[in-house]
Structures are given as structure tokens and as C-alpha cells.
Structure 1
Amino acid sequence: MIQRVAVTPWQTDRVPSTHDIATFSDDEPPEGESPWVVAPVVEPIEIVEPDPSWPDAFETIASRVRSALGARALLVEHVGSTSVPGLPAKPVIDVDLIVASSHVEAAWAPALESVGFVLTVREPWWHEHRMMKLAAPRAHLHVFSPDAPEPWKHRIFRDHLTRDADDRARYARVKREAASHATHGAETMMEYNARKQAVIREIYERAFRAAGVAP
């Protein structure tokens, strides 16, 4: 099941422009800065067949987030490959969490840490993104503020792949190829993601046009 969430008044005041949504930012960390709160480790990257239990796993994770944060969880959404029916994926649930101010970690991080989430990535220079990991169910929780364009990209990409069988198959192929190269080359997850980037950007262009947000 794909979550569909109505736009509420607070969202319409702080949504990014269509230009921001359709524009990619490849900013590197400032000199001397690292995004890693917990250093990454090299491990095999496994792409598995679609699992019908992934939506239920998302609901479990979302329930934990909402219970921990209450009204501070403005939006909790299933994104990434496990949110697309019929798409092979890493068995890790990607979740976007919108809070009032992602850079004010004291307002949300301790509550999530108390229920098992571990702050792993902090990127103030990239839309104030934070990422937390959960061990079971395995999940990556991406934390943004309402004005960040990235969650909008994620939803557009998810919905496009759900509708477009050709792009879904194309993305599945590149994921398997990238995972094979990355695993045999003992590469990190960031290197795996870089191998997919060109095809992802091509698919995004078509998704943006279909959604009417092309720059």
C-alpha cells in the first residue's frame, strides 16, 4: 500500500518551488566536514525480489515514529524502491519524515533514539537532511523540514515508477548491475548510488515532465 497524504495548510505555506523540486543539488560537504555521524561499513549489497510484506513493515515503522513523536511527525511516508509494487530492492525500508525543523535535533531525535533509531547522517548543507537507521525492521529514516524539495522528488519518482512499467524495468536492471559491481568491488553504498545516478536522472526527467514540474 502506498501512503497518500492530503496537503494541509502548514504545508502549502512552506512547500518548495517547482524549480527547486526539479533541480538537483550535488553539493559536496564543506571542507573539513563529514556527513557521517556513524561511519559507513563496506558490506555486500543485495537486491531481492519484491516482498509483499514491505508495506506492512513500513506501517510498523511509521507507527513507531508516530508513537514516539506524536504531533511532531508532520508527515511519514513510504518512499524508495520498497514502496513501488513489483520493483526489486534492497530489503531496507526508506521512510521520509517531515518535522517542523529538521536542524533542531533536540525536538525529535531523542524521542526516536528511545525507540531504537540511530542518528547516522547529518547534512546541514543539503536541505538540513538527517538520516537515522533502524535495525528491525531494517529502515532508513530520512528527516527533512517542510520546505525541503527532496521528499517531493521521492514521491514523484515513486509514483512514476508505479505507473511506468518500462522505467520500472529499466531501474530494476541498473540496480542489479550496480549492486553486482559494488559488491564485487567492495564499494560503499554511496559508490553504489553513484553507479545508478545517470539512469535515475533520466527517469526523473520523464517523471518531472509527467508531473508538470519540469524546469
Structure 2
Amino acid sequence: MPEPLDGTTLAAKLVHGPRPTTVTIVDYDPAWPVRFEHRAAELRDLLGERARLIEHIGSTSVPGLAAKPIVDIVVGIDNPDDEQAYLTDLEAAGYELRVRERAHRALRGGTDSEPVNLHCYPPGHVEVRKYLAFRDRLRANEADRDAYAALKRQLATREWPDINYYAEAKRPLIDEILARAGWRG
């Protein structure tokens, strides 16, 4: 189980430091999968065989689920720590590095009206498998989907010192849903 989030640990991972934020949750938009497909095609062209996996993850990947209107994508990169192998190409395409941690890079791209979060992990990484298991469970289980949406709407009523604290606040329910999905890691 991951360690609880603290300011020192978070600051070490964030390229530009913590950013206070409020979260906006909106009803599901059927344009989200289309936005993903467009970005996935761009990433395939940009990265070629370096992209071993490109998957739509997060709430925008679950039909009917309210979400932050930011498309989340995971890209399987053999060694995300070898930034010279791919990062320059992503930055040239408009992605900005936001998080640097062992075996993971998170970038922000897209436009103000169509933002994208891009997570780069090795293709078989446990976090990739967890993202996909969680997504698939929410796609298949209306009760879990509704519980998750309700929690997100409730958490969106406050300001956060950084978006990662919002994500941390969702973790207990995410862990419960993953357990119901049979997740073993």
C-alpha cells in the first residue's frame, strides 16, 4: 500500500511544485472517447513503437460517469526514466512535464478547452494494471460507478493545496472498489 501523501514527498515529485486547485466535476460527455482517440492517434504517430500501450483511463473513460473534463491517457514506455528516449518529442508536441518519479512521468497537454493528462509507465507496471482494472470495474458496475461519482462531487466542494490531495482523498473508495473487482496487485 502506498505511503500517505505528505508535502515533502509530493514536492519532490512535482516538477513545478504544488498548485492550489479546486476541482470541477461535470456530467459525462460522449465526446471524451473521441478526444481520446484523436490524442491516441497523435501519440502513435509521435512515438511509434516506443508507445507499447495507449489506453484511455480515468473517469472520462467510463461511459455515464461524471468527471473532471480532462482526458487521462496511460502510455506504456519501456523505461520512463530514460527521458531522452521520448520526453523531448512529447514536449515538442505541447506536453509539459508535471511529475517525475521512478518509473513514472506525468505530463499535461492538449488545450485549455480539451486538456489531457498523460501518464508514462512501463507497459506491465502495477499502476497500469490497476488503472485498467479500476476502469473496467466502473464500466461494468453501476453501484460502484455511482458511489465514485458521489464521492467526487462531494470532494469537489473544497479547495485543495494540490490536485494530488484530491486524488489521495479518493483512495479509500478506490481501494474498496478494486477489492470488489478481485484486484490482487
* TM-score when normalising by structure 1: 0.78
Distance 2:155 2:161 in 1: 10
Paired amino acid for 1:193: A
Q: 1: CA distance between counterparts of 2:17 and 2:10?
A: 15
1:86 counterpart residue number: 64
Out of 103, 108, 132, the position equivalent to 1:133 is: 108
Residue 181 (structure 2) pairs with residue 214 (structure 1): no
Counterparts of 1:53 and 1:107, CA distance in 2: 32
- Structure with higher Rg: it is 1
Residue of structure 1 equivalent to 2:122: 145
2:138 is equivalent to residue 155 of structure 1? no
Q: Deviations over 1:148-192 (max 9, x none)?
A: 1101001110010111000000000000011113x3xx5321221
Which residue matches 1:98?
76
Residues 1:205 and 2:179 are matched in the alignment = yes
Uncovered stretches (5+) of structure 2, i.e. residues with no partner: none
8 Å contact kept, 1:64–1:115? no
1:78-135 residue CA offsets vs partner (Å, 9 max, x unmatched): 00000000000000011000011111010010011111111110011xxx11101003
CA contact (8 A) 2:75 2:123 kept: no
The aligned counterpart of 1:35 is 13
Classify the secondary structure of the residue corresponding to 2:157: helix
Q: Could you tell me which of 77, 82, 96 is aligned with 2:55?
A: 77
Q: How many aligned residue pairs are there?
A: 182
Could you tell me which amino acid in structure 1 is paired with residue 26 of structure 2?
V
Amino acid at match of 1:53: A
Q: Which has the higher strand share?
A: 2
Aligned equivalents of 1:31, 1:53: Cα separation in 2: 36
> Is 2:95–2:107's contact at 8 Å kept on the other side of the alignment?
yes
Across the aligned residues of Structure 1 and Structure 2, the Cα RMSD in angstroms comes to 2.0
Q: What TM-score results when the alignment is normalised by the length of structure 2?
A: 0.90
Aligned counterpart, 1:176: 153
Q: Which moved more, 1:86-95 or 1:145-154?
A: 145-154
Moved beyond 6 Å, runs of 4+: 27-33
